[in-house]
Each structure stands twice: as structure tokens, then as C-alpha cells.
A and B are shown apart, each in its own frame.
Chain A
Amino acid sequence: MTSDGAPLLALDRVRKSFDGTCVLDAEGIEIRAGHVYGLMGANGSGKSTLVGVISGYHSPDPGSAGRFHGEEIRWPLRGHAARGIAVVPQDKGLCAELSVVDNMLVTRRRSSALLGTIDWKKERRQTQASLAAVGLSVDPSRLVSGLSPAEQALVSLARAFEEVRAVGAEGSLVILDEPTTNLNIADVNRVLDAVAAFARQGAAVIIVNHRLAEIRYACESVIVLKNGRVTENGNLADLDEQRLLVAMFDAPKTAVASAAGREESARSRQHGEPLMALRRARAAGDQDMTIEAYAGDVLGVTGLVGMGQDLLPYQVVGALPRHGLDVRVRGRKLAPKPIEARRAGIICVPADRRAHAFWMAGTVYENYSIARISRYSKGGHLNRKQERGDASGMLATWNVVARSTDSLMATLSGGNQQKISLARAVAASEWNVLLVHEPTQGIDVATRAEVLRRLRSLATPDRCVVIFGADYDALAAICDRIVVLRPGGATVELTGEGLTEESVAYAAMSSAGSSDRPGGAE
């Protein structure tokens, strides 16, 4: 593989703003044929925008300039399939209820037999050939939903490769967004090997990924974005982990958790049983996952996309199937029913307020009182005066900006909704454990700080707060301990002085398999 000659894609400068806010301002990106590039960056660093610009989904701001195959690009980069660019989104873009061959047909120019009908024999043959090219042999008529995650990932690769091969593999560009999510280590290698084999045919591949071991295994070069700018761009061999982390994250911000608080929680952990314990036995070869929350704790649970931390809060209260997760509260098993969870004082504060928290067309007071509606009723008769009174008090203590208790929920800003969501959770009867999912999602900076401060103060000596999410900075700021979920069921626990955004990010990104680096490709 040579890096001589003109690059396949050169982006001298790409800027992209939304509503006047510049989210991408990257310079000097060069993508060469025959290479695999890693694209890294924290949430909001501009990765998706960059991918969108390359795939033609976004049109960059005026002044952006670049060359594709040596030709000046006229934005947007439309008709990307015709120019040999394919993108595989994070969710793979497959329709699970359709067969493999049906999914392949989506991007294929249909073979027209008599009267424009589909020549299924030919389509199946072509599908088998494309699958074989990525080392997969499954019956094309099987449903995608019946395939393993690894097979699904390979089908999505086969489709993208086939799409650009129509123009010619050599000189084509394929972008893969988190292609190895949910895969075990053996399958990860299978997918990355298929990518490497394709690149050797003279194509360029960009992989969006955050697992350092996988990036090192698959890529020669890496492009790192931070706040829309390129912070590292070069040969991976010259970059150590520390430098990559600095390139991705800003300097540590002020921590909310006091050292004293952390010592306190460490002391309570030494005695006594956990307030809540989560255990999941994994398949053979994998480790069991164990998460224990103690009274007085502010515990963070995080990991990369697809490590399961986004499902856990809902599985704990029983709103989603538990899939072998064992939940114990003070040593006693918790039945998988939201009503039981509430009785045990386990309250879930969901991330998606519109979908899972509120009746948006209802008023503030109706949404606030619903969690303990029985308190406001005498013989079934609702005391609305008391409902409004309590809601009004809540608006004042939680510093919520709302016109009145009768304002519709939908008219409040995200931050104000989040405060009401938290206020409702802790006002509801006797709560013991607060499970908060992505508490800082979609709220402004000022409210974010306030929400974090309040979350911290909720963990009184007999209660605990467990925060699930990927906001490493927020977690590092307020948590006593952070449990990082990693592939294969392993967990890493971070405590004390070691709690910084970077340390959490590093623990999440360096997978368990990083020490025994898999054998060479081929």
C-alpha cells in the first residue's frame, strides 16, 4: 500500500453551521486509496456532520473546498453512489423483516427480466457472490432478523461494497459508522478483516469507532475531531493513547463531588450490604457483570454505544425484558414489574422525556401529581387545588421557568422538563434508588450544572443515585464511583482521584481484548 500520488478525497477546508452555530471547521483531511482510516471524537465533536458532508447529506458552508479524484468538488457531493461513495450507518440500515436478497436489492439496479419482473435466480447468485467477498455464506432468502449480529454487520458491508463496486472498487470510498457495535471479539476481527481485504483492492475506508484496540488493529491513520476541528490527523503509529485522549477531550472541568463526599461513600461501602445489586450471567467465555450501589452513593454506569448501559435502567424497573439480569434490592429479588419497582422505591428517570416521561399535551400539575395520584384523592375524588398547590411549590423550589401550573408540558424547555421529571421522581413516595438515564441530554449549559448539583445532593446517607449515560464529563464531575461496561461482560470500576473525563473515556474505549491483540489480518 502506497501513500504516494494524489489523494482520493482531499478536503482542504469544510465548514458547516446550523442556525449560525459552527459545528464543523475541518482542514487538511486527505483520504488515500488502499487505506483504512479511523475517525474519532467525543459526542458533538462534528464526526456525524463530517460523514454527512462526505456522503452528500449535508451541503457545507460557502468557502468549503475539496477534491474528489483530483476534481474540484461542487457541493453538495450528490449522487454519491454514482461517484463510488457508500455509507453504512450505525444501525446498519437493514430491514430486519426482509430477506438478505431483498435488502441487497435496495441499492442494486434491478435485473429486468420479462415485463420488468425481478430475475430472482440472478439476484440470488449475485447476492451470494457479494456475501462471499466478505467471507459470509448464508442463504440469501433467509430473513435478516434471523442472522447473528456479526452476520448482519457483514451483510451491511457486503451491500456497501457491492454498491461501490458497480463503479469500481478501486478508487471508491466506504464509510462505516461503528461497524462493530454489539459484536464479540472474534466477530469484530471477522468484520475488520473483511474491511481490510476490501481496502486492499484499492478502496479507501473510514471507520467511525472508539475502541482503541480495534482502531489500532484495523487502521493505519486516524483523524480526531474536537469541537468541530481536526486535532490529530496522521499515522496511528506515532500517536499514543494519552495523546489521542487529549485530542478528544477538553481539560477536566470543576468537579461537583467533594473529596469528603467520596470518602463518606467509600466508608459506607466497607460496611453493610448494597442497596441495589445488578448481576448478569453471560454466555460461556464471557464474564459476569456485577454492579452494586450502596447507600449514599452517586454511581455512574457508562460504556461505549451498545454496551447495554442504555437499557439497564428500564430493565431494572421491569419496563423492558431483563434478559437474564438479576436485580436485588437490599438482598431481595425485585420482580420485573414497574409497579413492584415503585413499591421498592426504585424510580427511573428516562432520557427521552417526550417518549417516556410526560404527557406532553397535559399540564404541568397533571404531569407532576400523576406519580402519587392516590395522595390527592379521597374516595376517588381528586383535590385539584392541592395538586396545583404542590406543583406550584415544586416550580419554586426547583427553579422551573413556567408560566403557571396549568401550562402545557410541551411549552416548557428541555431543561425545565428535566427538572420536573427529577422533582416528580423524588417526590414520589419513599424512594431509595434513583435510576437516571442521560440526565444532561438536550438541556442548556446553565441548567446542566444545576441538574448535576441537584443530583449530587439527592444521595443522602440512606439513598443512592445511579446515573446511566455517555456524558463522561458529567459523570466524572458528580459520581463517587463509575462502573464502565466493556465488551464480553467485563466491568472496570473507577473511584477517587482517578475520576476524570479522560480516565472514564479511556476505560470505555480500551476494550478488554487490547492486551492480547489479535493476530494479523488475512
Chain B
Amino acid sequence: MKVESERAAATAEPVTPRRKRAWYGEALRKSGLLVFLVLVIVVFSILKPNSFLTRANLITLLTTEAIPLTLAMAIAITLRLRDLDVSFAAVMIASASVGAKLMTMNHGGLAEGIVAAIVVGLAFGALNGTMVAFIGLPSFVATLGTLGIAEGVSLGVTNSQIVGNVPAALTVLQGGPGGIPWGVYIVWGIFLVIWLIFDFTTFGRLLLFIGGNRNAAVLIGLRVRMVRFVAYLATGGLFGAAGVILIGMLGVVDPTSDAGYLLGPLAAVFLGTTVFQLGRFNAWGIIVALYTLAVISMGLQILGASSWVGDVFQGAALIIAIAISHVLSRGAAAADFSL
């Protein structure tokens, strides 16, 4: 079948105007998930006409998804390289633990805490980058090791205790214009910056090409190792930033809470490849996927599902997201992963 399509391409007219074949069909294929999101909202609104589509629910949703959105955007950077960094949740909690601890210590302060949290993120990013880009370890296994180290760091610095009483200067992130917390606006800002990097800069293109064919990138003479290292470093810095936002938005840091942030961002990035730029880890796809999954989760809760249903849904969503992205992108545009 592939041979046939190649032949068809070979015999086609050179550089003809776009095929007339129903433009809306193409548009629908590329934004099916967006349509699905609307449908989901409509269905839940009908099932729970009074309690689903409310302003309070919307703000809750945006608030709870702020951290997952940051993490999803961060891991999308290395996923564009076809690398899977699984240390993200643990590194974020380690950054938050160190930051919060410093902020609440006698001689500590807000600035030191913020800087420390981001430095911790960068340090783990540099570790991941060194292992993957320069030593050549497989990303999944290397970052799984980092995950373990980061979890240990969190427990160590906090003595396995929840850290509270963070400076009020940071908890202002919890409120904001229109009732939406400042933290959400900051995360949207991060989202927009990463979108611009992905779609409009050389770096974004280099990530895709290196991920698409690393051998070709080497042969062409691209700085493959440097790009990969920088990608991991930037990703680590974002984990640190997510940690700071977490301190501010929650006001407390639970050093064992990383597992709760693991599946959501992963499911969102993979589901995001099924929309807009098919087969690619693209920014708008990720945000739509993330909010779609969050709406379903919230809808299930409002319908009265037990909390374990939410866990099952998250796991199932990850599997389904990868499955859909795999099926949709059979052949050339495959977003497949072989670890």
C-alpha cells in the first residue's frame, strides 16, 4: 500500500494547487479532539445541568491543571527529540521541597528558595542531559534513575514531613484577576513561550529533525549532542519553575506527592499528537488534550464516581492516547516509541 502511494505521488502533476478534496474533511481530521472536547462538555452539561458548567468548576479545573500543563510542555521538549524523560514529577517535587525548606528555615528567604528550586531543576536537567546526550544512555532508563534520586532528595531535605508556612509573598499566586489564580496566568505565559519556540524558531525545528532522524542530523553536521543537552537542561529548569509555582499555589509541599503528577502530563502530550499537527508533539495539541482529559475527570467526579475511578481513568487515558496516536500516524508520521 505504501508502494502504491509512492507511485501515485511519483506520477502526480508537479506542484499542483492543493487538492480540492473537502477542506472541511481535512480540518475535521486535524481537530477531531477539539470537537470531542465540546461534545464531552455538552454531554456532562446535559447530565448535570446545574452543577457541571459553573464558573467555580472552571476555575478549579484551570487551577488544578496549571502544574500538569507546565510539566506537559516541559516533557514535550525532549519528546520532540523522541526521548522520554520520566523524571519530571519527581524532579519538580524535589525542587519544590528544597525551595520550600529554604523559604521556611530561619536564615532562608523567598529569593533564595526560588533560586534554589530552579537550580535543583537545572542540576537534574544537566544530569539527564549528560547521561543521554553525551554518554548515550537510553533516555527512559537514565531518567528513571534520576526519578529515584530526586524522590530521595525530596524525602531527605524535608525529613519526610510536609513543609507548610511558605512565605505569603508567594501564596499571592493563589488569587488573581477574574478569580483565576496568578499561577495559571504564569503557566499560560510559559505555554505561549514554548509554543513560539516549537513553531517559530530554529531550536524547535532542530528538536524535530534530530528526533526524526538522528543519523541524518549527525551526517548533515548539526550540533546534535549540544541541542539534546540544552533540551534536557531547559526541561530541568522548567521542572524547577513548576516546583516554585507549586509552592505558591498550594502553600504546602508534600515530598511524596510526585506520583500524582506522573500520568496526566504523559497522557496529554501523547494525546496531543492526534490533533492539529498530526504525529507531532505540538503546543496547542497538548493544551487541548490536557483540558479534555481534565474535563472528563471532573465530570466523572461530579457524576459521583469514587476516587479510584479517577485513577483508572488516568491510566486508561494514557494507554488510549498512545494507542490513538499510534493508529492515526501509521506509516510516515508515526509518533511511535521504542525504548
Seen from chain A, the residues whose Cβ lies within 8 Å of a Cβ on chain B are 314, 317, 319, 338-339, 341-343, 348, 350, 355-362, 366-367, 370-371, 373-374, 376-377, 380-382, 392, 395-396, 399-405, 407-416, 428
Contact = CB atoms under 8 A, between A and B. Distances in A.
B14 A402 contact: yes
B35 interface: no
Interface of B: 2, 5-7, 9-12, 14-16, 18-19, 200-206, 208-209, 212-213, 215-223, 279, 329, 331-334
A405 B16 CA distance: 11
Given A338-B220, A382-B202, A403-B15, 17 more contacts: A317-B221, A339-B221, A339-B223, A350-B219, A356-B216, A358-B213, A366-B209, A370-B217, A373-B206, A380-B202, A380-B203, A404-B15, A412-B10, A413-B9, A413-B10, A415-B10, A416-B10
A349 to B, nearest CB: 9
Contact of A361 (B6, B14, B219, B333): B333
A359 B216 contact: yes
Contacts of B331: 410
A341, A377, A405: residue with the most chain B Cβ atoms closer than 10 Å: A377
A338 B203 CA distance: 19
A402 to B, nearest CB: 7
Nearest to B223: A339
A359 B208 contact: yes
Main secondary structure of the interface of B (DSSP, over half): helix
B10, B19, B213, B215: residue with the most chain A Cβ atoms closer than 10 Å: B213
A408 B332 contact: yes
Contact of A357 (B7, B11, B219, B332): B219
Given A356-B219, A382-B201, A362 B14 contact: no
A358, A392, A411: residue with the most chain B Cβ atoms closer than 10 Å: A411
Nearest to B210: A359
Contact of B7 (A348, A374, A413): A413
Nearest to B206: A373
Contact of B220 (A361, A370, A380, A416): A370
Contacts of A339: 221-223
A359 B18 contact: no
Which 10 A-B residue pairs are closest in the complex by CB-CB distance?
A: A359-B212, A410-B332, A342-B221, A413-B10, A377-B202, A338-B221, A361-B333, A359-B213, A411-B9, A339-B221
Contacts of A317: 219, 221
B216 A357 contact: yes
A341 B218 CA distance: 11
Contacts of B6: 411-414
B205 A373 contact: yes
A405 B216 CA distance: 20
27 contacts: A342-B220, A355-B213, A356-B219, A357-B216, A358-B216, A361-B329, A362-B209, A362-B212, A366-B208, A370-B209, A371-B220, A373-B202, A376-B202, A380-B201, A396-B15, A401-B9, A401-B10, A403-B9, A403-B15, A404-B18, A409-B332, A410-B331, A411-B5, A411-B6, A411-B9, A412-B9, A428-B220
